[in-house]
């Protein structure tokens, strides 16, 4: 009798195991793969920066500093433009990750543009870098902030930006099977809908004007991501991806590939792979895994070029009796302004229920939120390490749940893209753009000056 019982239990467990294996094989998503000819020709490894290089001094084959790539050259040009008479100013815009929180940035730039005389939401931007949702914003803002484009074209780009962050249903962006489905599906969300939505945002109804404007932009744009195999932070040159493509449709696919690589958060999103000319498909992760803004290269390059520009300034020679205060003022005047958009809050809301309720998904989500938040604000604060005295202006989606608004909803649960919440975030962008003190505030200089 006992033998039959054990045999039955064994058979049941075997059946469940076989069922689970078949379910996993049948329902798992596998990677979403792009095939983009010459994609990696327009991608370079990011420099970790001088301080991280010091930390990794004993690491064999650690990364070496390179300042001859397009991003560093763009930063150098920005500083030189800032300091040469007769040339337009050239500031830097850094866009963080944040998923659906990117609706804040969309509402912010849309309103700043509408309230300007020429549809320019922010003047004198020469370089834009984006991570995750920030990479999607970069594509549109390279046109929307380009003074060489017509006001009508800038408005068109902003309308596509707002459209991208205005889904009617979450399913228009991702196929969300939630964290509980990870063991079966391999991720919490499939991203095939996102691929389609990015292409539609760039080429609505097949219209190629926006793609062409990105390729012709006077603004340099870069999207950052992490190569899974080596764990190295990399970034793609947006204009090169467009101008090297055989046609507008291929360019849109290349831009979608770069933006989705920058947004492919492990476990949460379906794995993203991009195959280049050799056919080898590399797995790429959300750039926010390593850093939320390009603080290392952009800021180190700004600092190096500013000090080079200051060599001829009498005030640069602090040792010759010039006061530190005068040096700081000269540095600030020489450096271009840096604008940082934190597409999300900088602090997590208290959750007292965690003291009375438990569970791996709930605790895991809370831990993830806290770690990401610390990574985001730490990366922004670290901007000061490489640029001690320049003007750094920040805006964030803080106060999303307390500012006066009757638009949408000010809460979300486990939705990745909740339309009503995104509507509230867009309205928060409007609110901060229109409040008397404006949306930006400065980061303190490194010595408090």
The Cα–Cα gap between 324 and 378 comes to 27
Active site residues: 132, 286
- Using one digit for the tens of pLDDT, what is the confidence trace for 183-195? 888 888 999 999 9
- The parent domain of residue 279 ranges over 36-351+368-442
Q: Where are the beta strands (DSSP E) in 303-397?
A: 338-342, 392-396
The Cα–Cα gap between 272 and 270 comes to 6
pLDDT at 435: 97
| Residue 29 belongs to a domain | no
pLDDT at 241: 97
| Residue 299 belongs to a domain | yes
C-alpha angle 426/210/286, rounded to 5°?
60
Contacts within 8 Å (CB) and 24+ apart, 317-326? 324/447, 324/449, 325/449
pLDDT at 21: 46
Given a cut of 80, whether residue 127 has pLDDT beyond it is: yes
Q: Between these two residues, 134 and 233, which has the higher pLDDT value? A: 134
Most confident of the ranges 74-78, 297-301, 362-366, 431-435: 431-435
CA distances from 413 to 71, 165, 210 (A): 38, 18, 35
| Residue 22 belongs to a domain | no
Q: Between these two residues, 208 and 279, which has the higher pLDDT value? A: 208
25 pLDDT tier (thresholds 50, 70, 90): very low
- Give the residue-averaged pLDDT of 383-398: 90
Given a cut of 90, whether residue 320 has pLDDT beyond it is: no
Most confident of the ranges 60-64, 199-203, 286-290, 353-357: 199-203
- Give the residue-averaged pLDDT of 2-22: 55
Structure tokens belonging to residue 42: 């327009």
* φ and ψ at residue 352, rounded to 5 degrees: -65, -20
- Give the residue-averaged pLDDT of 229-248: 94
- Using one digit for the tens of pLDDT, what is the confidence trace for 85-111? 666 678 889 999 999 999 999 999 999
- Using one digit for the tens of pLDDT, what is the confidence trace for 151-174? 999 999 999 999 999 999 999 999
- Kindly report the pTM of this predicted structure: 0.88
pLDDT at 37: 93
372 pLDDT tier (thresholds 50, 70, 90): confident
Three-state SS annotation for 239-292: HHHHHHCCCHHHHHHHHHHHHHHHHCCCCCECCEEEECCCCCEEEEEEHHHCCC
Given a cut of 50, whether residue 24 has pLDDT beyond it is: no
| Residue 363 belongs to a domain | no
Given a cut of 70, whether residue 317 has pLDDT beyond it is: no
- The residues with which 45 forms a beta bridge, in sequence order, are 234
pLDDT at 3: 59
CA-wise closest residue to 145 among 172, 116, 167: 116
The answer to which of 72-76, 396-400, 405-409 has the lowest mean pLDDT is 72-76
The answer to which of 5-14, 116-125, 356-365 has the lowest mean pLDDT is 5-14
Q: Between these two residues, 39 and 232, which has the higher pLDDT value? A: 39
61 pLDDT tier (thresholds 50, 70, 90): confident
Percent of the chain whose predicted confidence (pLDDT) is above 90: 51
Most confident of the ranges 20-29, 56-65, 392-401: 392-401
| Residue 73 belongs to a domain | yes
Provide the mean pLDDT of the chain: 85
Most confident of the ranges 68-72, 232-236, 403-407: 403-407
115 pLDDT tier (thresholds 50, 70, 90): very high
- The residues with which 338 forms a beta bridge, in sequence order, are 92, 392
| Residue 7 belongs to a domain | no
The answer to which of 70-74, 262-266, 302-306, 373-377 has the lowest mean pLDDT is 70-74
> What CATH number is associated with residue 303?
3.40.1090
- Give the residue-averaged pLDDT of 260-283: 92
| Residue 12 belongs to a domain | no
Measured over the CA atoms of residue 163, residue 168, residue 172 and residue 174, the dihedral's sign is positive
The answer to which of 9-18, 219-228, 406-415 has the lowest mean pLDDT is 9-18
pLDDT at 408: 94
pLDDT at 400: 95
For helices 151-164 and 192-202, give the axis angle rounded to 10 degrees: 160
- Using one digit for the tens of pLDDT, what is the confidence trace for 338-370? 999 999 999 888 888 888 888 877 787 787 777
The Cα–Cα gap between 28 and 20 comes to 11
| Residue 19 belongs to a domain | no
Count up the domains in the chain and report the number: 1
């Amino acid at each position: 009798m006992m033998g039959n019982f054990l045999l039955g239990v064994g058979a049941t467990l075997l059946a469940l195991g076989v069922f689970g294996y078949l379910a996993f094989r049948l329902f798992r998503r596998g990677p979403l793969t792009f095939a983009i000819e010459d994609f990696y020709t327009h991608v370079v490894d990011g420099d970790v920066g001088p301080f991280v290089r010091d930390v990794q001094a004993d690491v064999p084959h650690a990364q070496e500093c390179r300042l001859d790539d397009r991003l560093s050259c763009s930063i150098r040009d920005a500083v030189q433009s800032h300091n040469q008479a007769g040339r337009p100013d050239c500031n830097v815009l850094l866009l963080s990750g944040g998923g659906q929180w990117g609706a804040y940035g969309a509402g912010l730039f849309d309103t700043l543009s509408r309230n300007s005389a020429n549809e320019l939401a922010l003047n004198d931007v020469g370089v834009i870098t984006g991570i995750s949702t920030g990479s999607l914003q970069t594509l549109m803002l390279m046109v929307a902030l380009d003074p060489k484009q017509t006001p009508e074209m800038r408005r068109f780009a902003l309308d596509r930006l707002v459209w991208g962050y205005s889904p009617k249903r979450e399913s228009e962006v991702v196929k969300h099977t939630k964290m509980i489905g990870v063991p079966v599906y391999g991720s919490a969300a499939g991203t095939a809908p996102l691929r389609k939505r990015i292409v539609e945002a760039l080429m609505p109804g097949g219209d190629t004007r926006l793609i062409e404007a990105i390729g012709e932009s006077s603004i340099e744009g870069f999207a950052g991501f992490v190569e899974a195999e080596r764990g190295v932070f990399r970034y793609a040159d947006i204009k090169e991806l467009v101008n090297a493509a055989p046609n507008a449709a291929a360019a849109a696919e290349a831009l979608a590939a770069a933006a989705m690589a920058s947004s492919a958060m492990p476990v949460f999103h379906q794995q993203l792979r991009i195959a280049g000319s050799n056919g080898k498909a590399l797995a790429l992760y959300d750039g926010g895994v390593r850093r939320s803004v390009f603080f290392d290269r952009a800021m180190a390059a700004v600092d190096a070029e500013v000090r080079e520009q200051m060599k001829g300034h009498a005030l640069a020679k602090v040792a010759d009796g010039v006061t530190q205060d005068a040096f700081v003022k000269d540095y600030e005047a020489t450096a271009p302004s840096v604008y940082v958009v934190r597409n999300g809050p900088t602090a997590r809301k208290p959750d007292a229920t965690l003291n009375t309720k438990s569970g791996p998904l709930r605790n895991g989500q809370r831990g993830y939120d806290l770690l990401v938040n610390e990574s985001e604000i730490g990366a922004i604060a670290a901007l000061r390490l490489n640029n001690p005295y320049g003007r750094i202006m920040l805006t964030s989606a803080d106060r999303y749940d307390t500012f006066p608004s009757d638009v949408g909803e000010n809460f979300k649960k486990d939705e990745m893209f909740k339309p009503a919440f995104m509507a509230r975030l867009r309205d928060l962008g409007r609110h901060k753009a229109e409040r008397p003190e404006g949306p930006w505030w400065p980061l303190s200089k490194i010595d408090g000056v």
